[in-house]
A and B are shown apart, each in its own frame.
Chain A
Amino acid sequence: MIAMSLSRGHVELLQFVRDRTAVVFTFFFPALLLLLFGTIFGSESTDSGVAVSRIFTASMIAYGILNTAFVTMGSGLAMDREDGTLKRLRGTPMPATAYLIGKGLLVFALSLAEVAFLILMGVLVFDMPLPPAGHWVTFAWIFVLSVVACSLLGIAVSGLVKNARNAGAILNVPVVALQFVSGVFIHPMSQLPDWLEKVASIFPVRWMAQGFRYVFLPDEAKVTEIGGAWNLGTVAVVLGVWCVIGLVLCLVTFRWSGRDK
C-alpha cells in the first residue's frame, strides 16, 4: 500500500515536472501576481506601519496553496477521469487510497515548493524578514490543514466538471472570487461590506491568509485584522471543519470514470 502510493507519487511528480506548461502556470502565476501587486503598492504602509508588499507576500501564500492544491488537484483529477487514467488504474489491484495518496504527494511537494518560492521572493524582493522560530510551528499546521482542506475540496469539485478542458477555468472561479473577499487581494477586509465579510468568513481562504499573516508579519499588524486579533483558534477550527467537509464530499461524489463512459 505504501509502496503503491509512493510509486504513484513518483510518477505523478515526474509527470508534472516534465509538462512545462503546467509548471509555468501553476507555479509562476502566484509569483507573478505577487511581484505585480507588491511592486505597485509596495512603498505604501498600512496603519500598523507594515509595508503592503510584506502583507501581500504573506497573504499570497494562501493563494499559492489554493493554486497548487485546489486547482492542481481538481483539474488533475478531472483530466485523469476523462482520459481514462483513473479507469486504467481501476483495472488493477491498486486501491483508490493509493491513487489519492499519490496525488496528495504531488500536491504537497508542489505546495511546499510554491510556498518556499513565494517566501524567497518576499525576502529577496520585498525585504520581508523571516519569522521567529516559534512561528514556524504555527506555519506548519496552518500549511498542512490548508493543503489537506484545499486538496479534498479540489477532489470533490472535480466531480462536477463535465469537460476536463474547462476544469482550470471552472476551478478558478471560486479561487479568484475568494481572493477578493478574503483579504488576499484587498486588505484589510474591513473595507468590505459587512455581509460580504461574513460570507467570506465561512470559507477557508480568509483564515488561511490570516494565519499566514500571523506567521510572517509583526504582532502589531493584527490591528488590521477583523476584531484586531489573529484568532488562531478560529483558524484551526475553520480549516479543520473544511477538511471534514471536504472528506465527506469526496467520499460521496468520487467517481472512477466520466458519466457516460
Chain B
Amino acid sequence: MGGDAAAVEVRDVVVRYGETTAVDGVSLSLPRGRVLALLGHNGAGKTSLLQICEGFRRPDDGRARVLGLDPVGDHDELMPRLGIMLQSGGVYPWATAGEILRLFASFAAHPLDTDMLLDRLGLRRFERTRFRRLSGGEQQRLSLAVALVGRPELVFLDEPTAGMDTEARHTTWQLIEELRADGVSVLLTTHLLDEAERLADDVVIMRSGTVAATGTPAELTSAAAIDVLEVRADPGLDLTGLRAGRTVAEPTPGQYTISGSLDTAGLAEVLAWFATAGADVTAINTRRRTLEDVYLSLTATPTPVGATK
C-alpha cells in the first residue's frame, strides 16, 4: 500500500510544548526520490517537525503521512523502511563504534555491509574505539551510518554535518547525493546554506515555527534575476541620468553599483548610458542573490516575543 504516495506529506501541523508553540501550521511535501532541506535558525521548529514525521510524537493539530502511512499508528510497518539520524544522544557510551553499528544492523532485515559503511564514512580506524572517546564529528558520522545501515527508502537527517570537519562534510554530501541517485528520499534539517544549496531539490525556510518560503534553491534565488550590476569605468561621472527607476552608487571612485530593474533591456540601457557619457567601461560584473541573501532577509527580522520555543 501507499506505493505512489509522497515520501512525506505534512498538512497544517502544529506542535506545542506546554505554553509554547514550536510548529505553527506547517505544510510541506517531499516527493519520492528527492531531497528536501528544512532551513532555519535554532528553535525555528525544524527538529520538532522532524519528530512528527519520525513518529516520536503526534501533532497537536494537522496531520502527517510518511510513505503514505501514519508515522505513529503504522510505526511497526514504517520503521524498517526509514533511516533516522538524531541530533545527539542515545548511543551506548561504553560500546565501540563497530559494536554499535553491528547492533543496529542486527535490527534490519537486509542490512548493508557494516565494514563497507565504516570504510565509506572513514570510521574504520575507530571500529574499536568506544563511543565516548569519539569526537563530535566522528560520533555524527557513526550516527549517519546507523541511519543508513538498514537500506532505508526514506531518511531523516537532523543536522547531518554538524560538528564535522570540511572533509567529513564533503564525504557526507557525496553519500547523500548517492542516496538520492539510488532513489532514496531525504528530509534533512540544516542551518548551513551551502549544504542546502548543494544537496536540496527543494528548500523550506522555517521561521518561528512557520514556513517563511519554499521552492527550489534556483527559484528562491532567481526571483529577482540579476540583483546587482557592478561597472568599472571613469570616476566621477554625473549619475543623474542613470537613476530613473534604479539605485546607483559609486562606493569607491570608478566603481559603480547599480541595482533595480536589470532584465536584458535594462542592462542594455545601463551600458548604453555609459557609452553615451563617453565613459571607458573596463569591467562589468553581475551578482545574483544567493540563498544566503534570501535566507537572511526572511529570517533576520526580529521575531515576536513568545512565538518561538
Contact = CB atoms under 8 A, between A and B. Distances in A.
Count chain B CB atoms within 10 A of each CB in A14, A85, A91, A95 and give the residue with the most: A91
Contacts of A91: 54, 56, 79, 82, 84, 86
Interface residues of A, number: 27
> Which residue, A88, A98, A260, has most C-beta atoms of chain B within 10 A?
A88
A8 to B, nearest CB: 7
Contacts of A98: 107
Interface string B91-105: 110110001101110
B91 A14 contact: no
A7 B106 contact: yes
Contact of A15 (B89, B92, B150): B92
Contacts of B107: 4, 92-94, 98
B82 A14 contact: no
B90 A86 contact: yes
A7 B80 contact: no
A90 B57 CA distance: 12
A257 B94 contact: no
B85 to A, nearest CB: 9
Judged by DSSP, the binding face of A is: helix
B86 to A, nearest CB: 6
Contacts of B86: 84, 87-88, 91
A13 to B, nearest CB: 10
B289 interface: no
A241 to B, nearest CB: 31
B76 interface: yes
Contact of A84 (B76, B90, B100): B90
A89 interface: yes
A92 B104 contact: yes
B95 A11 contact: yes
A8 B103 contact: yes
A65 B100 CA distance: 29
B169 interface: no
A84 B88 contact: yes
A90 B76 contact: no
B18 interface: yes
Contacts of B265: none
A194 interface: no
A44 interface: no
Across the A-B interface, give the 7 residue pairs with the lowest CB-CB distance, nearest first. A84-B89, A88-B90, A84-B90, A91-B84, A18-B94, A7-B106, A93-B80
Given A7-B103, A92-B150, A93-B80, 10 more contacts: A3-B106, A18-B94, A18-B130, A19-B94, A84-B89, A87-B86, A87-B89, A89-B90, A91-B84, A93-B79
Interface of A: 3-4, 7-8, 10-11, 14-15, 18-19, 83-95, 98, 256-257, 260
